[in-house]
Amino acid sequence: MFASLSDRLTSTFKNLRSKGRLSEADIDATIREIRRALLDADVAVSVVRDFTGAVRERALSAEVSGALNPAQQVVKIVHDELVTVLGGTARPLQRAKTGPTVIMLAGLQGAGKTTLAGKLAVHLREQGHTPMLIAADLQRPNAVQQLKIVGERAGVPVYAPHPGNQGEGATPGLSAGDPVAIARAGYETAKARQHDTVIVDTAGRLGVDAELMEQAADIRDAVSPHEILFVIDAMIGQDAVATARAFADGVGFTGVVLSKLDGDARGGAALSVAKVTGQPILFASTGENLTDFEVFHPDRMANRILDMGDVLTLIEQAEKVFDQQEAERMAQKVADGQDFTLADFLSQMQQLKNMGSMKKMLGMLPGMGQMREALDNFDEREVNRIEAIIQSMTPAERDNPKVINGSRRARIARGSGTTVQEINQLLQRFEAAQKMMKQMAKAGPGVGGGMPTMGKMPGVGKRAGARQPKKDKKLTPQQRAAAARKAARDKQQGNSSGGASFGVRKDIDASSVELPSGFDKFLGR
């Protein structure tokens, strides 16, 4: 979502790094570029004004003028101010001291509240809680049925005594249930069944609807929620500001959840809503799967915007899905110098797949903004093809790929729906990875020079700034003939002058040369 903003800011800071000292004009030019970038990203004008004012004030202070690297100091200031705009620090959910914790979801229709209710339930269940969903959205057609399906996928119970509005052909008056009574009864049911968390899904509004706003306020009064989460579509831009203010005045909320953060919009909502409403962003929905949900960390999001990566989130996701025993087994195998097999490679790749989109994971690495085009062109299906190829092999072939001859490659290609060329490419890449693992095993932990070779990397093994010899150019037949004639002339001139190919002068008497004792036997004297 922040790709355009990230590229603009990165380009601005790149121009700064070429200057050893920053003048007031340099800082003003940088502030102008930042202002344009934020406005183009659809950030609220008031937020842009406050942000650029704070950055300019700090950039002109002593912390920049006295810094060893002023450009880096300006980047740090922008990072700090971005963190402030995004809410400062991450805040955990408020929990009830006794009884179930009640979390109420509110927002516009289409913001993704129902799906987000399931994502939040999965997140809480992974933390050891026992959530229950309450279907209090009786307005939107089939909203209750959708929540039941989401709850089933999430593995959590759903309290839905009323079918709600079932769209065309529904029984007249059937959608006129009382969502307030359902929310209250659902809370009592969850308390009786000893659920420690209740998530109430309320009706969405098509706009600032006074009647539905009042209904949400009645549900709030009936269940006394510990958290009212305002779910906002991160793609709606500056409209998020007016909507957030209306909900803050009509219902009130204690935190914000950004949905559709994986979209390709400009991201103005994310950079505006926390500053405008004064309420923190608690969670972010980053995909369609129920597991595409994460705690919102302002400092990590600022890192992503400035192309500094988000390694901490990447590590946390890896810890969720990686098998600790499998990781220890692989580490011991490398330490013992055992061969890295295709079966091991398949196991590691399947664990990577469990982490989600490869594009998303790669995008969390620092500096990946400079490779955005290559990242966008990355084919997620390539992982599935590699998996199909390895699974089409026999156990013996996975353990010892050297036995895979031509006929075996043709059989594997037919079984995996690929070509023999793709099989060859995979085996070549695997052979390189296997050599790298062997080098790591030989080097051992903490040994200098244990870094395995990375192939033909630019600059590796060459002295910085050294002039490299030019590669031989391809010669035409006429050029080769001319070169042969020149070599023949040079040889003839060398013989007549007493020279030789290795620089030995023939006009010198070898018998007059003093040699070390015992060396005569090599000359046949």
Burial zone of 519 (CB within 10 Å; 0-12 exposed, 13-18 middle, 19+ buried): exposed
Place of tokens 């880096």: 72
Check residue 195 and give its pLDDT: 93
Residues 6 or more apart in contact with residue 116 via CB below 8 angstroms: 105, 231, 257, 259, 285, 293
Check residue 216 and give its pLDDT: 84
- Here the tokens at position 239 are 């409209």
| Binding positions for GTP | 107-114, 201-205, 259-262
* Predicted model pTM: 0.65
At 133, phi and psi to the nearest 5? Answer: -95, 145
Segment among 243-247, 352-356, 503-507 with least mean pLDDT: 503-507
> Which residue did the predictor score with more confidence, 435 or 285?
285
List b or e across 4-28, with b for residues whose CB sees 16 or more CB atoms inside 10 angstroms. Answer: ebbebbbebbeebeeeeebeeebbe
Residues 6 or more apart in contact with residue 510 via CB below 8 angstroms: 523
Question: What percentage of the chain reaches a pLDDT higher than 70?
Answer: 70
Check residue 449 and give its pLDDT: 37
Check residue 503 and give its pLDDT: 40
> Which residue did the predictor score with more confidence, 268 or 346?
346
| Binding positions | 107-114, 201-205, 259-262
Q: CA 428 to CA 105: how far, in whole Å?
A: 52
Burial zone of 93 (CB within 10 Å; 0-12 exposed, 13-18 middle, 19+ buried): buried
SS3 324: helix
Q: CA 238 to CA 54: how far, in whole Å?
A: 21
Region 370-391 average pLDDT = 76
pLDDT digits (tens, 9 = 90+) for 279-329: 888 998 888 888 888 888 888 888 878 877 667 777 776 766 666 676 677
pLDDT digits (tens, 9 = 90+) for 195-234: 999 999 988 766 556 777 888 888 988 899 999 998 888 7
Check residue 399 and give its pLDDT: 86
CA 255 to chain centre: 24
459 has pLDDT over 60:
no
Q: CA 333 to CA 486: how far, in whole Å?
A: 59
> Which residue did the predictor score with more confidence, 359 or 433?
433
Region 127-140 average pLDDT = 90
Q: CA 318 to CA 305: how far, in whole Å?
A: 22
157 has pLDDT over 90:
yes
Place of tokens 């903003």: 5
SS3 43: coil
> Which residue did the predictor score with more confidence, 454 or 506?
506
Q: Which of 272-286, 344-358, 441-455 shows the highest mean pLDDT? A: 272-286
Confidence bin at 518 (pLDDT 50/70/90): low
Domains in the chain, please, with CATH?
Answer: 3-85 (1.20.120.140), 101-308 (3.40.50.300), 321-442 (1.10.260.30)
E-state strands within 234-314: 255-259, 281-285, 293-295
- Here the tokens at position 352 are 């990577």
Q: CA 304 to CA 283: how far, in whole Å?
A: 16
> Which residue did the predictor score with more confidence, 492 or 398?
398
Confidence bin at 455 (pLDDT 50/70/90): very low
Residues 6 or more apart in contact with residue 148 via CB below 8 angstroms: 135, 158, 160
- Here the tokens at position 441 are 């095993």
> Which residue did the predictor score with more confidence, 43 or 464?
43
Within 13 Å, how many C-alpha atoms sit on residue 45's CB side? 1
- Here the tokens at position 514 are 């003093």
Confidence bin at 185 (pLDDT 50/70/90): very high
Q: What are the residues facing 106 on neighbouring strands?
A: 230
> Which residue did the predictor score with more confidence, 426 or 344?
426
CA 138 to chain centre: 37
Confidence bin at 474 (pLDDT 50/70/90): low
